Chains A and B, each alone.
Chain A
């Protein structure tokens, strides 16, 4: 157990639907990062939050949004889902640069 909890582990949904992925960071970590890993591709950075505020944005689609709540857990919302959104979505947390990230085990999203 890495200390970063992601739910659900698996999600199957239809095109056009909306889903919410949840992440609880490791205790004491203020930063949360979301990454997407599509088939045969590396980890693509989506977005970072630090203590409730958006800190950095990557190649996140407009159909996707995220937030970090006062208790530091984070949610990634994916809407108007397309087949190409099928991927592994990882959440990671950290104390800051120099400490590395701790990753959750991911949510596997399948859009059918």
Chain B
């Protein structure tokens, strides 16, 4: 039962442009959402998070938007840089500390 879904397996964007990654969830008990970034041969690294009491959180070039009514969140990367090429995982948790992950979106930033 996939409670967190990333429907786009891949995204290609030109350097300097905006990357938008989308994530949908089904569990209404989720109250904390995170994005992780993963390079080949490395473990995922925490990127940015948002609590369900907020609808936006910004950290430098990264902004996460949460639409609770639609059970949808998105990650915006502006401007995209070659070093942003990686796999991005969306994750969510309820009060049980356990994170449920999406299948990931592979981002390729073209020079």
**Which residues of B in the span 48-106 have a Cβ within 8 Å of any Cβ on A?**
49, 51, 89, 91, 93, 95-104
**Residues of chain B within 8 A of A44, CB atoms compared:** 101
CB pair B97 A96 closer than 8 Å: yes
Size range of the chain A interface in the assembly:
20 to 34
Cα–Cα distance between A94 and B51 once the two chains are bound (Å):
17
**Which residues of B in the span 7-58 have a Cβ within 8 Å of any Cβ on A?**
32, 34, 36, 41-46, 49, 51
Q: With both chains docked as a complex, state the minimum distance between the C-beta of B6 and any C-beta of chain A, in angstroms.
A: 8
CB pair A103 B34 closer than 8 Å: no
CB pair B97 A55 closer than 8 Å: yes
CB pair B98 A56 closer than 8 Å: yes
Cα–Cα distance between A13 and B101 once the two chains are bound (Å):
28
CB pair B98 A2 closer than 8 Å: no
CB pair B32 A98 closer than 8 Å: yes
CB pair A42 B97 closer than 8 Å: no
CB pair A42 B99 closer than 8 Å: no
**Residues of chain B within 8 A of A48, CB atoms compared:** 97-98
CB pair A102 B46 closer than 8 Å: yes
**Residues of chain A within 8 A of B41, CB atoms compared:** 105
Partner of B45, one of A40, A41, A97, A103: A103
Partner of B89, one of A33, A43, A102: A43
Q: Does A8 contact B (CB under 8 A)?
A: no
CB pair A105 B43 closer than 8 Å: yes
**Residues of chain B within 8 A of A58, CB atoms compared:** 98
A-B residue pairs in contact (CB < 8 Å), sample of 9: A2-B45, A42-B89, A43-B89, A50-B97, A55-B96, A55-B97, A56-B98, A105-B41, A106-B42
12 additional contacts, CB 8 Å, given A105-B41, A106-B43? A6-B43, A33-B98, A33-B99, A42-B104, A43-B89, A45-B98, A48-B97, A48-B98, A96-B97, A97-B95, A101-B44, A106-B42
What is A's interface to B at a CB cutoff of 8 Å? Answer: 2, 4, 6, 31, 33, 35, 40-45, 48, 50, 55-56, 58, 90, 92, 94, 96-98, 100-106
